[in-house]
């Protein structure tokens, strides 16, 4: 979506237009229902959709929805032909903004706990979220038993080998940029506007 030097958007380049055009075609053919993200994962959890690309943070909802009702499986992200799949890490972050030394110390202790092995065991086993401390998967005191029972996680772990960092937008208008891009994609995919023209205008 952005050049390596973070100086210009590549949002309307041919590769991005190809993706949006494909998604538009899936809606036009009836392969993709016109749903919001939340409606989509709720429908998938009920077994009303055949495939969904979504975060592992809501995997537990799918496991509960599928239990004794339908066969839930996972796989790696799809590719365009033989082009490499490059997952990005664009999840949550933890920041300390306080100028108060006591609050800074307390915040740092909280961040250390939230990124500790103990916390990752709790988070991953509780909701199915990908454990970024992968050594816990082989640790009997960590997630080894849980991982043995949770085969859905394996494609995510495999993709860590090819993951690249998410590149942030410079400046203070990230939300405006993101919303403009998302609006262009949604109007192309769900309302049928021309992808190339709409994304170029955005």
Q: 137-172 pLDDT, tens per residue?
A: 899 999 999 888 888 888 888 888 888 887 878 888
Q: Are residues 175 and 84 in the same domain?
A: yes
Tell me the two tokens of residue 3. Answer: 């050049």
190: which 2 tokens?
Answer: 């769900």
Residue 184's CB is within 10 A of a number of other CB atoms, namely: 21
pLDDT tens string 69-110: 999 999 998 888 898 888 887 666 788 999 999 999 999 999
Same structural domain for residues 134 and 202?
A: no
Residue 55 CA: distances (Å) to CA of 88, 142, 183: 12, 22, 21
What average pLDDT score do residues 51-70 get? Answer: 90
Nearest to 171 by CA among 3, 10, 7, 13: 7
Average pLDDT over residues 20-44: 94
Tell me the backbone φ, ψ of residue 9, rounded to 5 degrees.
-80, 140
Per-residue pLDDT at 43: 95
126 with 114, same domain: the answer is yes
Q: For residue 6, what pLDDT band results from cuts at 50, 70 and 90?
A: confident
CB 155 within 8 A of CB 75: yes
Could you tell me if 33 and 130 lie in one domain?
no
pLDDT of residue 59: 87
Considering the domain architecture, whether residues 45 and 33 belong to the same structural domain is answered as yes
Residues 16 and 52 in one domain: yes
Calculate the average pLDDT of the chain: 90
Domain check: are 81 and 102 in the same one? no
Same domain, yes or no, for 182 and 130? no
> Which residues does residue 2 pair with via DSSP β-bridges, in sequence order?
9
Q: Domain check: are 177 and 81 in the same one?
A: yes
Give the residue numbers spanning the domain of 134: 92-165
Residue 71 is encoded by which pair of tokens?
């066969």
- What whole-number distance in Å separates Cα of residue 9 and Cα of residue 176? 13
Q: How many domains does the chain have?
A: 2
């Amino acid at each position: 979506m952005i050049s390596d030097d973070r100086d210009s958007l590549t949002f309307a380049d041919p590769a991005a237009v190809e993706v949006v055009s494909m998604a538009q075609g899936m809606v036009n053919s009836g392969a993709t229902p016109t749903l919001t993200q939340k409606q989509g994962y709720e429908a998938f959890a009920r077994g009303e959709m055949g495939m969904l690309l979504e975060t592992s943070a809501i995997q537990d909802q799918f496991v509960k929805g599928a239990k004794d009702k339908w066969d839930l499986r996972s796989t790696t992200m799809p590719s365009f032909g033989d082009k490499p799949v490059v997952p990005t890490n664009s999840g949550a972050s933890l920041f300390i903004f306080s100028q108060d030394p006591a609050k800074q110390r307390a915040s740092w202790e909280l961040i250390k706990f939230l990124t500790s092995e103990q916390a990752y065991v709790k988070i991953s086993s509780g909701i199915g979220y990908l454990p970024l401390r992968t050594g816990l998967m082989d640790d009997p005191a960590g997630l080894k038993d849980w991982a043995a029972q949770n085969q859905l996680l394996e494609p995510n772990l495999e993709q860590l080998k090819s993951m690249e960092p998410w590149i942030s937008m410079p400046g203070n208008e990230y939300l405006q940029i993101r919303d403009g891009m998302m609006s262009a994609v949604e109007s192309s995919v769900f309302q049928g506007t021309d992808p190339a023209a709409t994304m170029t205008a955005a």
